[in-house]
Amino acid sequence: FLGVSVLSRPHFLTNEAFPRTRMRRNRQHEWSRRLVSENSLTVDDFVWPIFVLEGENRREAVASMPGVERLSVDLLVGAVGEAYELGIPAIEIFPYTDESLKTPDAKEALNPDNLVCRAVRAIKEKYPDMGVYTDIALDPYNSDGHDGLVKEGRVLNDATLEVLCKQAIVQAQAGCDVVAPSDMMDGRMGAIRDALDGAGFHNVQMMSYAAKYASAFYGPFRDAVGSAGSLGKGDKKTYQMDPANSDEALRETALDIAEGSDMVMVKPGMPYLDIVHRLKESFGMPVSVYHVSGEYAMLKAAVQNGWLDNDHAVLESLLCFKRAGADVIFTYCAVEAAKLLAK
């Protein structure tokens, strides 16, 4: 009523006009928000992890991952075609292996006609320009559910490396573009690089799951590939990292880079954004992040309950990976996010 707002007077405590700097000015219009936006999410950021199972014209829902299915090779090729048309640069293939094929020596991993190899060939035949990653680890084939060979209760490092090297060659022969060791054995990147080069696969890329934590968030994935039963109450703490550690992630990653990793990964994603940030700042390498099954399950469960808005929550989750420093995002949301971004 004095004709002058109390707010425009010099602030009686700081003696400054209050508030001279208004952070909200740049936020008031959509055009302005777009201009000052520091990060963006595009379809070029995605790798889509997919699950393949035996048979023809078969699809099975993964109960703990609403919207995710295991597909037989023929249907998988169709799904990959849709992803390709949407502009998704690459996929990673994980197999649901029949229990009868699982053995303590995980020998199905080395069968050039195993499910993964057949899927790679079928996809590459139809979509040669689609990037194809394959996972290197023994857990889908191992009767005890571990990523390495087990003897007297111990997961053997060096004996496992020999199998992993052969597994990499078998996958390279099938035509994959990138081998992605997720096993966390010591020395595997160097051993696999030498094995690939020795077999003439100098151009097959390697992405190490460099900072992979012994996480509770892999549960639904183990359902999806059918390794949960074999692992039982076991855990992977003797080879995957302790969630308490951060400096250790730098050492793990430095080793993988020195051994020839072309790209590195942090896994899980959302609870580990600090690690994504540190790796990007420390190494300036292409850093991938895995928005893992448990993160996906949490999001979808909340959406199903009506507690979160799916589209906003999906896009925000993925954008935050970019802000943290990730170059590549592995996500089960790749296809839906690509559709949302294309709108």
> Scanning the structure block, which residue is given the tokens 């191992």?
142
CB of 147 to ligand PBG, least distance (A): 5
Told to check if 252 binds ligand PBG by CB under 6 A, we report no
Told to check if 135 binds ligand PBG by CB under 6 A, we report yes
- 267 annotated active-site: yes
Told to check if 280 binds ligand PBG by CB under 6 A, we report no
Told to check if 256 binds ligand PBG by CB under 6 A, we report no
- Residue 137 CA to residue 303 CA, distance in Å, equals 32
Q: Which of 273, 279, 239, 288 is nearest to 133 (CA)?
A: 288
Told to check if 293 binds ligand PBG by CB under 6 A, we report yes
Told to check if 93 binds ligand PBG by CB under 6 A, we report no
Q: Which residues, 6+ apart, have CB-to-CB distance to 173 below 8 Å?
A: 112, 117
Told to check if 147 binds ligand PBG by CB under 6 A, we report yes
- The secondary structure of 22-72 as a DSSP string is -TTGGGSSHHHHHHH------GGGEEEEEEEESSSS-EEE-TTSTT-EEEE
Nearer to ligand PBG, 218 or 272 (CB): 218
* Catalytic site residue from 102, 124, 236, 267: 267
Nearer to ligand PBG, 56 or 162 (CB): 162
CB of 211 to ligand PBG, least distance (A): 13
**Nearest residue by C-beta to ligand PBG?**
221
Residue 178 DSSP class: E
- The secondary structure of 126-138 as a DSSP string is H-TTSEEEEEE-S
- 300 annotated active-site: no
Which residues belong to the active site? 212, 267
Residues in touch with ligand PBG (CB under 6 A): 135, 137, 139, 147, 182, 218, 221-222, 236, 292-293
